[in-house]
Amino acid sequence: MAGVDQIGGQIIWKAAIIPLGTSSYAVYNTARPENSRVIRKGPYEIFNAQALNYERDLFITFDELDALSLESLGHAAIAIGDPRNLPVLLETLRQKKNENRCYYICRNNETREKDIANQLGNYLVSLNNPYRIINLALPYKSINEALCKTPETLRYRLDNFNDLVTFSPEGIIRKTEDIKFIEDSVSLTKLELSGNLYTFSGQAPLLHRLVSDIISSNECSILYAGNRVQWKNICQFVSSDRTFGYGDKSAKFISIDGEHIQDQLMKNLSALLMLVESSFVTIVDLSACLPQTALSTLEALADLSEKMKLPIVALCNQKVRYFAESLAVQQLEFSYANDAEIEVDTLSAGGKPLSFIKYQGI
């Protein structure tokens, strides 16, 4: 297409001519779509206004090429074209009012388009029409440019459109209770914990002796969840005068095994809560689990402790230590300091490194 620019020089365009009506059209320079120049001739008309007769949702673009790009992919679209077309579009929307249709206003980051999109959105609200302002083109300047350069990305956005436009990230979760931390040997023995997941990691025999000491101290009620062999080994080291029966400070055992440990726990914990027993700490022994089983179970335990508002302590072997601490409100690492001392490494409530000694058998 040949033409004359504003200073009288002849210019040659590789152009797309788009009819807008019986006596109007738009001419787009398509040689460089990222810097398109457009000339519109004739009275103001809405491009593809007949799409308003459809019952389905509708895209509203600013440029005719963008609307054509969406139509070529099977989506109904109209274009405002010249900003001075906005009153024409508003009147057309009033005449074609359809409260069951959702409008998707496609804009980029230009201030002019932002202002027009907001005006259009406010008008749609007055018509009781749902709408969303979206940007299908990013990182490009137009939908047509996105279609030309990365068509697979644009198609992905359109094919998954409903999921993408309804996506909403979650905000800050309000704290429901103060988190309690283990910061010394006394709090380790009493296990006065909040309804969160805690993880203890170390060698399995050491963790089992630790559970034996906690039970022997008679300072808290324990519900130990593991296999029967582990429970038998723990009981061998419990003080002979410690009661295992029902009471204020009892120690009980439930058997869990296999891959669906969380389902077994949910069933057993729900049963205990129904029997008005809630003042206990559940210790789940994952030290003998394969890493993959332990990892999936830890995620479920974190969710379970939050839902049931119960403290859960997971015993983990050292292979899953780093994953375990990423899910727990507090991670404690246990190791032998000498024959009678257990060294405990953790983080304090203030997030600072903390170490203390737990004397074995006390």
Examine the domain organization and report whether 205 and 150 are in the same domain: no
Q: Say whether both 271 and 231 belong to one domain.
A: yes
Which residue range forms the structural domain that includes residue 262?
Answer: 185-359
Q: Are strands 341-347 and 353-359 parallel, antiparallel or unpaired?
A: antiparallel
Structural domain contains residue 62: yes
- Token reading at 346: 């953790």
Does 298 map to a domain?
A: yes
The pLDDT tens digits of the residues spanning 181-239 come to: 999 999 999 999 999 999 999 999 999 999 999 998 888 888 899 989 999 999 998 87
208 and 161 within one domain: no
In a domain, 175, yes or no: no
Domain end position, chosen among 165, 196, 212: 165
pLDDT at residue number 272: 79
- C-alpha angle 56/52/65, rounded to 5°? 95
140 and 11 in one domain? yes
**Are 197 and 310 found together in one domain?**
yes
Domain boundary at 100, 133, 165, which? Answer: 165
Is 190 a member of any domain? yes
Same domain, 136 and 216: no
In this structure, is residue 280 part of a structural domain? Answer: yes
| Domain-ending residue, one of 165, 198, 224 | 165
Q: Read off the CATH number of the domain in which 142 is found.
A: 3.40.1360.10
Do both 315 and 224 map to the same domain? yes
What DSSP character marks residue 36? Answer: -
Is the pTM higher than 0.95? The answer reads no
CATH number at residue 337: 3.40.50.300
Cβ atoms within 10 Å of 204's Cβ, excluding its own: 17
pLDDT at position 190 is 92
Query: Is there a single domain that holds both residue 252 and residue 320?
Result: yes
Calpha distance 330→200 (Å, rounded): 9
Same domain, 244 and 160: no
Q: Point out the residues of the chain with pLDDT beneath 50.
A: 1-4, 246-247
How far apart CA 151 and CA 91 sit, in angstroms, is: 34
* 20 SS3 class: coil
**What confidence score (pLDDT) does residue 3 get?**
46
Q: Say how many domains are in the chain.
A: 2
Indicate the SS3 state at residue 173.
coil
Within a domain: residue 180? no
pLDDT score recorded for residue 122 = 93
Residues 124 and 195 in one domain: no
Q: Are residues 104 and 218 in the same domain?
A: no
**Is 174 a member of any domain?**
no
Kindly report each contact of residues 333-338 with a partner whose C-beta sits within 8 Å and lies 24 or more positions away, as own/partner.
333/201, 333/202, 334/200, 334/201, 334/202, 334/203, 334/206, 334/207, 334/210, 334/358, 335/202, 335/203, 335/206, 336/206
Supply the pLDDT for residue 1: 45
Residues 52 and 133 in one domain: yes
Question: What is residue 53's DSSP assignment?
Answer: G
